[in-house]
Amino acid sequence: MLEIERSPEGAVTLAGRFDASQADRARPVFDALTGRVTVDMRELAYISSLGLGVLLQAQKRLKASGGGLRLVNVNRHIYDIFTFSGFHHVFEIERADG
């Protein structure tokens, strides 16, 4: 199960598992983001390719208007997936372990 929270400052916190069964629930949240947004992944244990697709689509839309996603507190397994995907070229990413 994926938990999605928005802080009053606009940051997004993801927790749990971002798999294909959660993508339809997450997509409207990311579609509604504007500007520069921090996505805290400290409690995110897992992401699949459909989750990566949701992030990628949001990044394309936000970058086109001068904004973008900053992915922080990324665990090493998800960081590896981001690296294998080439996401480190198109996102600002900070690992949980520095």
Partner 1 sequence: MKTSFGRSFDELPRIFEASRAFYDAESVGEGDRFAVDFAIEEIFTNMVKYQPGSQSPIEVELRREPDRLVVVLTDRDVDRFDLAEAPVPDIEAPLDKRRPGGLGLLLTRRVMTTFDYEYYDEDRRSRVTMTRELT
Interface pattern 22-41 for partner 1 (x via CB under 8 A): --------------------
Cross-strand pairs, 37: 69
Alpha-carbon distance of 24 to 20, in angstroms, equals 8
Number of residues that bind partner 1 (CB under 8 A): 24
Exactly one of 3, 5, 10, 21 binds partner 1 (CB under 8 A); which one?
21
42 binds partner 1 (CB under 8 A): no
46 binds partner 1 (CB under 8 A): yes
User: Coil, strand or helix: which one is 77?
Assistant: helix
Alpha-carbon distance of 70 to 91, in angstroms, equals 7
| Strands 12-18 vs 36-47: parallel, antiparallel or unpaired | parallel
**Where along the sequence are the contacts to partner 1 (CB under 8 A)?**
1, 17, 19-21, 46, 48-50, 52-53, 56-57, 59-60, 63-64, 77, 81, 84-86, 89-90
